[in-house]
Amino acid sequence: MKIAVITGASSGLGKEFTKQISKKVKGLDELWIIARREEKLIQLKESIKHIKCRVMPLDLIQKESFVEYERLLEKYSPKICMLINNAGYGKIGSFETIDIDEQLNMIELNNKSIVKITRSSLPYLYNNARIIQVASSAGFMPQPGFSVYAATKAFVISFGRGLNQELKDKNIKITSVCPGPVRTEFFDVAGGDVSMSIKKMAMVEADQVVAKALKDSAKGKEISTYGTLMNAFKIVAKIVPHSLILKQVNYYNSRDKE
Ligand SMILES: NC(=O)c1ccc[n+]([C@@H]2O[C@H](COP(=O)([O-])OP(=O)(O)OC[C@H]3O[C@@H](n4cnc5c(N)ncnc54)[C@H](OP(=O)(O)O)[C@@H]3O)[C@@H](O)[C@H]2O)c1
C-alpha cells in the first residue's frame, strides 16, 4: 500500500497539501491525515472522493501519539511515498511576555515532532520518497519579536539540509518550504500585532505556496520559496550580515509602535 502522510492537515497549508497531493500524485492508495481536530479531518476526507483518506486525530505534542502512529505503521506496513511535516505554530511577541509553556510547546511541535515522525517513518519510506517540511522564511535569520519561532524554523532548515546528505543513498530528498506570510489560521494562533508589517509585506495564498512546494520537491530542491519578495529575502539573508539587517528591522519596528 502506497501512502502520503500529511501532518497539520486540518487547515491552511496542510489541508491544501492534502487536496493537491490527492489530485497530482499518481499511484497513491491512501492519504494519512493528522491533526488534533478530528471533525475538520473528517470534513476534508469527505471532500476527497477519488482516494481514501485515513483520519488520524493525533496531538503531536503528546508522546502517546507517536506510539499510535508507529502501531499503525507496523499494522499496515505501508510504503510512504511522501511525508509532509507541516504541523506547527508560532507566537508573536517578546520572549519575556509570551507564556513559557507556549514557547516550549512550539519547540516540541515545530522541532521534536518532526524529528520523531521522520525517524518513525524512515523504515517505511519508499525508494525515491519525498519529505517536505514546512519551515518558514523566518528561519533564514533571527527575528526579534518572533525569536523562538524563528529559531525553530532555522532548526528545520538545518535538519533538512543534514538529512538530505545522510539519505542520498536511499534516494530520499527533503525539501524545506520557506514561505513568508500565508493566508491561513496561523495568525489567529500567533496573536500579537502584525497588522502593519503584514500589510506592508504581500500576504500570499496557501494553494500557490503548496503548488510551488510540490514542484520543487519533485525536482529534488532543498529549499522552496514562493514569490519575488521571499526569494529576495533569502538572498539578502545569505549575503548581508544579519547585524545590519537587524538594525533596520529594529528601526521599522520602533516606527510602527509610534
Ligand atoms: N501562515 C503563515 O504565514 C506561515 C508562514 C511560514 C510558515 N508557516 C508554517 O506552515 C505550517 C502550517 O501552518 P498554517 O499556516 O497552515 O497554519 P494553520 O492553518 O494554523 O495550520 C496549522 C496546522 O497544525 C496543526 N497542529 C497544531 N498543533 C498541533 C498539534 N499539537 N498536533 C497536531 N497538529 C497540530 C493544526 O491542526 P489542529 O489545530 O487541528 O491540531 C493545523 O492543521 C506551520 O508549520 C507554520 O509554522 C506558516
Reply yes or no on whether the pLDDT at 13 is more than 80: yes
Q: Residue 191 is placed in which grid cell?
A: 496573536
Examine the pLDDT at 237 and tell me if it is beyond 80. yes
According to DSSP, residue 138 is labeled G
How is residue 129 written as a grid cell? 520518497
Q: What is the pLDDT of residues 25-57, one digit of tens each?
A: 999 999 999 999 999 999 999 999 999 999 999
Say which amino acid occupies 143: Q
pLDDT of 197: 61
pLDDT reported for residue 256 = 66
Query: Cα(258) to centroid of ligand 1, in Å?
Result: 31
Model pLDDT, residue 251: 81
Q: Is the pLDDT of residue 258 over 90?
A: no
Q: Give the pLDDT mean for 106-123.
A: 98
Kind of pairing between the strands at 2-7 and 52-57: unpaired
| Percent of the chain surpassing pLDDT 70 | 95
Does the pLDDT of residue 195 top 90, yes or no? no
69 catalytic residue (yes or no): no
pLDDT band per the 50, 70, 90 thresholds, residue 236: very high
CA of 111 to the centre of ligand 1 (A): 13
Coil, strand, or helix at residue 182? strand
pLDDT band at 200 (very low <50, low <70, confident <90, very high): low
Atom of ligand 1 nearest to the CA of 135: 7
Mean pLDDT, rounded, for 107-117: 98
Q: Would you call 126 a catalytic residue per the annotation?
A: no
Who contacts 112 (Cβ-Cβ below 8 Å, separation ≥6)? none
Domain boundaries, the chain: 2-257
Residue type, 17: F
Ligand 1 binding pocket, CB closer than 6 Å: 8-14, 35-37, 40, 59-61, 86-90, 109, 134, 136, 179, 181-182, 184-186, 189
Q: Which of 134, 207, 226, 230 to mutate to test the pocket of ligand 1 (most atoms within 8 A of CB)?
A: 134
Q: How far is the CA of 152 from the centre of ligand 1 (A)?
A: 13
Mean pLDDT, range 121-133, rounded to an integer: 96
Q: Which CATH architecture has domain 2-257?
A: 3-Layer(aba) Sandwich (3.40)
Distance from the alpha carbon of residue 92 to the mean position of ligand 1, in angstroms: 14
**Mean pLDDT computed over every residue of the chain:** 94
Which of 13, 32, 137 for mutating ligand 1's site (highest number of atoms within 8 Å of CB)?
13
β-strands 125-134, 79-85 pairing: parallel
User: What contacts 51, CB < 8 A, 6 or more positions away?
Assistant: 22, 28, 29, 30, 31
**H helix intervals, the chain:** 12-24, 38-47, 63-76, 100-107, 113-121, 147-166, 186-190, 195-200, 206-218, 228-239, 242-257
* Pairing mode of beta strands 173-177, 125-134: parallel
- For the chain, percent of residues with pLDDT exceeding 90: 89
Q: From the CB of residue 234, how many other CB atoms can be counted at a distance below 10 Å? A: 15
Nearest CA to ligand 1 atom 9: 134
**Which pLDDT score is estimated for 165?**
97
CA 203 to chain centre: 17
Catalytic residue among 19, 69, 124, 149: 149
